[in-house]
Amino acid sequence: MAKSKTTPDSKKGGVPSPDQWFVPVFLAWLVPGGGHFYFKRWNHGGLLLFSVAGMFLFGLMMRGRMFEPSDGSLFDVIVTYGGFLGDLASGLLYFLATWLGYEQPYLASQVADYGTKFLVCAGLLNVLGMVDAYEIAVGEKP
């Protein structure tokens, strides 16, 4: 049988304090790979930055559309809010693109549709980087 790995926090049964994980997770959201750079894990941070920024830039070059929350049917609300959260998860990349005036109307094009998916997937990949930074911060990952 494999032994389960326990941390001091899991022995107490408590939740890790935000003092442990807030700064690295916030940095990981703001700049892709920022949480790993905070822990001096340069290779992982660089790979995350390259992957998320590359995917985001490819989405922009394919003229992908950024989601905006809108009302309508339940399906439309779920899709637009989910897409908006996915875009927002890219952190500073999303804010730079919107502040610099990137706005793409809906295009009936397969390339633009893939670009929209690339923009959302860049944010979702950044969420995985945030989770990894959290696990490093609370000691669940060496």
Ranges of each domain in the chain: 20-137
Per-residue pLDDT, 70: 86
SS3 53: helix
Per-residue pLDDT, 12: 55
pTM for the full predicted model: 0.83
Count the neighbouring beta carbons within 10 Å of the beta carbon of residue 12.
9
Per-residue pLDDT, 110: 92
Per-residue pLDDT, 13: 56
Residue 25 · residue 135 · CB < 8 Å? no
CA distance 57 to 83: 17
- Sign of the Cα pseudo-torsion (119, 120, 125, 129, in order): positive
**pLDDT, averaged in runs of 10, over the chain (142 residues):** 47 75 95 96 96 96 90 90 95 94 83 94 96 93 79
**Residue 32 is which amino acid?**
P
CA distance 104 to 116: 10
